A = this chain, B = another copy of it.
Amino acid sequence: MARYDLQDIMSLEKYVRISLINKITGLKSANLIGTKNSIGNSNLAIFNSVMHIGANPPLLGFIMRPLLAERHTYANIKETGYFTINMVSTEIHKQAHKTSANFPSAISEFHACGLTETYIDDYPAPFVKESKVQIGLSFQEESLIKANNTILIVGKIEKIILPDTAAKKDGDIDLESLEAVGIGGLDTYYTCKRIARYQYARVEEETKKID
């Protein structure tokens, strides 16, 4: 077994440490966050930290790195109050990865990375046409994480669009049929294959498969 104590971790070369700590938590979701600024320039960036915050009201969050560099996604959300979250599937994972390059604010990652900017029902933020799941959100709140000046951004879901075939009546979503990818750290992409869906676990019962 490989063992690292805090001192070992801090002694690692910077990019080795970044990779190790980014990958140690397992699979992460892959989503593209779409925004535009007040003069209409659009921005698109891949995030591996989109998380569920709650269902009532429907809230999602993500982690924004410290504001030491220009952060177009953050600036645009604060300017307009809106953003979109768009699922990354196998088909577009390479284009999605490309959005992490350091494009200047006047260049839209949509065009530069081969993805299509689209607007739905006049929602004030751009969606990714190629994404099979598209979510429109309004900015809700932010929390500064003091330990390293990252920021948790929370948005309220106002719109969801996904294929009929993937959205089941009971609220289930089949991520395998959507070809949703997972990310290891910042650079490795994985496809997923369904094992099983289980009933809500109860103390006295054996856990049964739903399907």
Q: Which residues of A contact B (CB under 8 A)?
A: 1-6, 9-10, 12, 14-31, 48-61, 63, 85, 87-88, 90, 93-94, 97-103, 112, 133, 135, 140-141, 143-148, 150, 152, 154, 156-164, 167, 169-173, 175-176, 180-182, 184-203, 207, 210
Contact = CB atoms under 8 A, between A and B. Distances in A.
Nearest to A20: B171
B207 A175 contact: no
A26 B191 contact: no
Nearest to A175: B184
How many identical chains are in the complex?
Answer: 2
Main secondary structure of the interface of A (DSSP, over half): mixed
Given A1-B161, A25-B85, A143-B145, A189 B196 contact: yes
B100 A201 contact: yes
Contact of A154 (B19, B102, B103, B145): B145
29 contacts: A2-B163, A2-B167, A6-B158, A10-B56, A17-B56, A17-B171, A19-B171, A19-B172, A21-B54, A21-B157, A25-B31, A26-B50, A26-B87, A26-B133, A26-B181, A27-B28, A28-B51, A57-B148, A59-B145, A101-B203, A103-B203, A172-B188, A175-B190, A187-B200, A188-B196, A190-B194, A190-B195, A191-B195, A192-B192
